[in-house]
Structure 1
């Protein structure tokens, strides 16, 4: 769901028809109004800051003669990457960017391609949209992303040229800069990611996490299904002075602040023996989810300096109170190259001193970890 800028309406997606469509719900009461009737469904509504338009995505309308028909066997696939976890068949998942005028309900198709659109961000003056694309048919790594800026006349320009990947991009509040997490050089597998600032007038970029050994926007393997739907996102304070995003360090995920100008400076503001996922920022308040190995995610708020933390939800407290939780024991050892590696073993709840029957789970890096 997406709140309108004036707080009076919520745009949301529902499957009350054959395909997911967008609806508007007045907050003060009344029935939801259908916004779209797209052949391939619609989703991901994002309001323009002035509240006059909604950007969204809709599946590619191939036409009757061009639509992939997976009921016929065998069928031909021409993409290098044609299936992906949590996505499925890429040809059936690609989409385009659309913009709807809320008052008149007119819909304009902004792109015409066979890619996946993600990370829609309106310019603060509602004149342009920053968005990312992925899953190009000729790519061998599906998550390599390219970003574009498109105006309402459909004039699109790439954000950067020749970067291996640009993710989590967003405008500063005054629209003069774009903050993003990126990898500049090959190879994408295992490449170090940094926090960057781009001046939209000059195109100059500056690395705001230089010297940091940890990847920006890293996380742990999600233990809860909902976390598969949460993408890390950069959030910028109202003054445009600092950016905030999560950073994984061993078995912990902290929320960090990065200075956007002057000397390179960064610090952890929300940390501890847990995994924190930044959800939103309003004023100087951070909204985030926090979980650990014995607690499922709950929503917290805190000031941007990390003070005044308050837990807002206790979703599974009653359930967990009746569960015997296993004890987790922290391990640290040297890898083959001398790097400190963290691990854990979880004792059975039946007790005893061991040895225990053991299952070894080694899935992890370079883009994932346990903790």
Structure 2
């Protein structure tokens, strides 16, 4: 079983069939009718004015940050965020924008008092790069798929209005957040100025992400997409399965969440595995292994030999991501395999 990421999902048969009949045109000129329909549907779904189909979440985040931030300004990001850790410093390299890492709380939040600290006492002092954007991640990957509460999002939104800077949400797994919170995705998006979400994770489309926001923001994003090399031609062949994903796949995410909880409960019963199942909110399960029994490197290798693939998220944290190719039987088999690996290692350490 491959728990490496939900990026490994394959498109459904309906998605593959949609490619064969997609109406095509040159999207750089805005002439691909399938892309146009996808963007209109996505914007309506989010309650945003406009949307843009992007090749990847990384490019969607980068273009959104650059559209918000002038050169020489700061973007406030969590020190455990995907934007800060996994996106190759793009805002600094391409946009001349400084990352200001903010301590990430265990639940994925950036505390208001920590955000407040990075604003200079005198914004007219020319010595300082000024904050121009707050980035939030929802759900939060390295915090174990945590969902940012609506009350917290409202609090940060009110803070951002006071400080007169916008909020961008890295919502790679935005629909997991809405599903877990039991709310319409519009309720989340009322507290952000822009967002990106991935079509190629739990939603199972083969490729792509959506950037959304105001008409003016997305106009800038389109220009930046072209500059970054993301302008695409007859891209309706990718937009067609993405439409199927948005129309058919969002509601099934709760199945992944249920299986993630079942996996966490099973792992918690294994000696040497540290995890609190109550903290699992969506499709990501993060746990650690007692190093007196087994190092995380050896744990990954031993399980891979048994056909189980996990990933490591820093500081020895091991991640399992549930997706539509993981069944109930797979969960049971995984728990049994991990238990067997740990028991063998325990006998060797006695």
TM above 0.5, one fold? Answer: no
Which gives a bigger RCO, structure 1 or 2 (Cα 8 Å, sep 6+)? Answer: 2
- TM-score, length of structure 1 as denominator length: 0.24
- Higher Cα radius of gyration: 1
Q: Pick the structure with more strand per residue.
A: 1
- TM-score, length of structure 2 as denominator length: 0.25
Q: Pick the structure with more helix per residue.
A: 2
